[in-house]
Structure 1
Amino acid sequence: MNNDLISFAPRAQDGAALRAAFGRFGTGVTVITTQTETGPLGMTANSFSSVSLDPPMILWSAALRSKRHDIFAKAPHFCIHILAEDQGPLARHFAGQGHDFSGFDWQEGPHGSPTLAGVLATFHCETHAVHPAGDHSIILGLITHAAQRRGHGAGLLFDQGRFGTFVPQDPQ
């Protein structure tokens, strides 16, 4: 057994250790947007993954405790935005609240979902299915339109509670 590991049994009443262990997996950062009856809505998420090329599908997870969960779980369309390394303020903003789009450059995209400017890639989706998964819902999207930034650009990453970016190492 590896003596550098702290072993534990996850318990529902104390999720701090499990959250810390999950935090060891660095992820990319996304903002999900949709259009509602009262205007645009956004939400920061790092629980994004590609699922399939044929048909083109993605998934992301929304926490049940989020005030925005029900709106996104019922939305017929949404857009995933892959954030660039300099978009930490955008990620922090939509992590805290989702109705205020002032100060951010955006336009209406296919199916009406807001498309934020300056991101590395966008995936406009029709909601394909929503599955219960513990304290989250897994939202599957069928990609109807995708775009990516020309040229190169580093993505915004989230690791152990911090935003950062990938720093390439010299080959040895």
Structure 2
Amino acid sequence: MLSRSSSSRSPSTGGSTQVQESDWPITMEHRSLPPNRPDPLLSRRTGSHMASSTDSRFAPTTEQQADDARQLDPADLRVCLSRFPTGVVVVTYQGPDGPRGITINSFTSVSLDPPLVMVGIARSARTHAYLSDQPFAVNILAADQRSLAECFAGREPEQEVPWSTRRVPSFTSCLAQLICEPWGCFDTGDHTLFIGRVIDVEYGDGSALTFHNSRFGTHPGCVRTHR
């Protein structure tokens, strides 16, 4: 996990803005079912004769669960999760000393009605202290914005950041952008899931910056434009 911070200069103000680093968190969703209800996906795949997930004959014992937890190497889990390709976003917000941001790939849509999205932030990140009670922007990076991703991950300490003058600090140019108000947050181990209610969006053409197997890459461009 990265630990140092860096600064970036805004072309509009000439001031120094602290930026945050990312540990490239990846969050997996767990789907739960009410007690004694069989998993409908499992039933369709295997037939109704399969036992439900609450059948005690197949439930692991406490000792087995403890053994499984001890045998799981966090390094193996990180490598396994890195095989899932994602986009790259910079979450930006107003910090105590000006605009700030953090590069992450733990981002997903949650709901269309109401319009909700989620970003996962490590509890060890400085950003963690600021997102629960103020608006933020999710800037989805284009293929040619790798340097911005590196900058807000603390790997390129000096760079001109294209800040906008909107109510929420955000980039003047990126592949897509969502402006969010705080809606809720949930503690999940070493990360917190911050849910934002989307109040405005912008998006355009271009290829996306991606992160796969711990490396940056690109994905072919989109075809629709807005604004």
Residue 153 of structure 1 corresponds to 206
Residue 89 of structure 1 corresponds to 147
Residue 17 of structure 1 corresponds to 76
User: Which of 132, 136, 152 is the equivalent residue of 2:187?
Assistant: 132
How many Å separate the matches in 2 of 1:13 and 1:71? 32
Per-residue CA deviations over 1:102-155 (Å, capped at 9, x if unaligned) read 50111132xx22121220111000010010001100000000111112xx2110
Per-residue CA deviations over 1:66-113 (Å, capped at 9, x if unaligned) read 1322123x341000001000110000110118xx8850111132xx22
Residue 49 of structure 2 corresponds to none
User: Which of 165, 174, 177 is the equivalent residue of 1:108?
Assistant: 165
Residue 91 of structure 2 corresponds to 32
Residue 4 of structure 1 corresponds to none
Are residues 10 and 29 of structure 1, via their aligned partners in 2, closer, same or farther at CA, if it must alter by over 3 Å?
farther
How many Å separate the matches in 2 of 1:96 and 1:160? 20
How many Å separate the matches in 2 of 1:107 and 1:91? 17
Amino acid at match of 2:217: G
Q: State the SS of the aligned residue for 2:148.
A: helix
How many Å separate the matches in 2 of 1:135 and 1:12? 19
Q: State the SS of the aligned residue for 2:151.
A: helix
| Displaced runs of 4 or more, over 3 A | 9-14
Q: Which runs of 5+ in 1 are unaligned?
A: 1-8
- What is the root-mean-square deviation in Å for CA atoms of aligned residues? 2.3
The alignment of Structure 1 onto Structure 2 pairs a total of residues equal to 154
Q: State the SS of the aligned residue for 2:153.
A: helix
Q: Which runs of 5+ in 2 are unaligned?
A: 1-67, 222-227
Q: Answer yes or no: is the 8 Å Cα contact 1:40–1:101 preserved in 2.
A: no
Q: How far is the alpha carbon of 1:11 from its aligned partner?
A: 4.9
Q: Answer yes or no: is the 8 Å Cα contact 1:34–1:75 preserved in 2.
A: no
Further displaced range: 34-43 or 12-21: 12-21
* Larger-gyration structure (1/2): 2
Q: State the SS of the aligned residue for 2:174.
A: coil
- Does residue 63 of the first structure (1) align with residue 122 of the second (2)? yes
Amino acid at match of 2:108: S
Per-residue CA deviations over 1:3-22 (Å, capped at 9, x if unaligned) read xxxxxx56599411100000
Residue 120 of structure 1 corresponds to 175
Paired-residue identity, %? 37
Provide TM-score, normalisation by structure 2: 0.62
